[in-house]
Each structure stands twice: as structure tokens, then as C-alpha cells.
Amino acid sequence: MQNTVNERIRLIYKSLNITLKSFSNTIGISEGTLKSMFNRGTNPGFEILEKIANAYPDISMDWLVTGNGEMLKDK
């Protein structure tokens, strides 16, 4: 289990084998915003979580926010 929301976000784009830039473009925010969030160790706000949920509907938001369960939703 990844310990922080930021670690779980990193796990998402790494497991998709895409770059942070590609991930940030897909969710509609700048790469710099994500890098800054990672570097400061701040958790993403609701808007970023919502963008991830909309762009990647197979990702479990329960897992992303709490770390409970599996990354991918049950089909």
C-alpha cells in the first residue's frame, strides 16, 4: 500500500507507463502544479481528485484518497 495520496498518484501514471507530463495533460492541469504539490508534500485538492476521477474512471477513488482496497475498481 502506498502511504500518501501523492505516492498513489505517482503509482497511477507509472503503472500506466506514461510520463508525469502526459498524465497532467490528460487530467487538465499543468505538470508544474503536480511537481509543486509533490515537492511540497501537500495533498491534492478536491478539484485535482475530481479531474483524476473523470480522466481515469477505472481508478478507485476510495483507494486514491484512503489507500484502502485496490487501485482499479472491480469490473
Domains of the chain in sequence order: 5-66 (1.10.260.40)
What type of residue is 27?
Answer: I
Give the torsion sign (CA, 39, 43, 48, 54).
positive
User: What does the alpha-carbon distance between residue 3 and residue 57 come to, in Å, rounded to a whole number?
Assistant: 22
- 0.85 cut: is pTM over it? yes
What cell does 12 get? 497511477
pLDDT of residue 35: 96
Ranges of the chain whose pLDDT falls below 70 = 1-2, 75
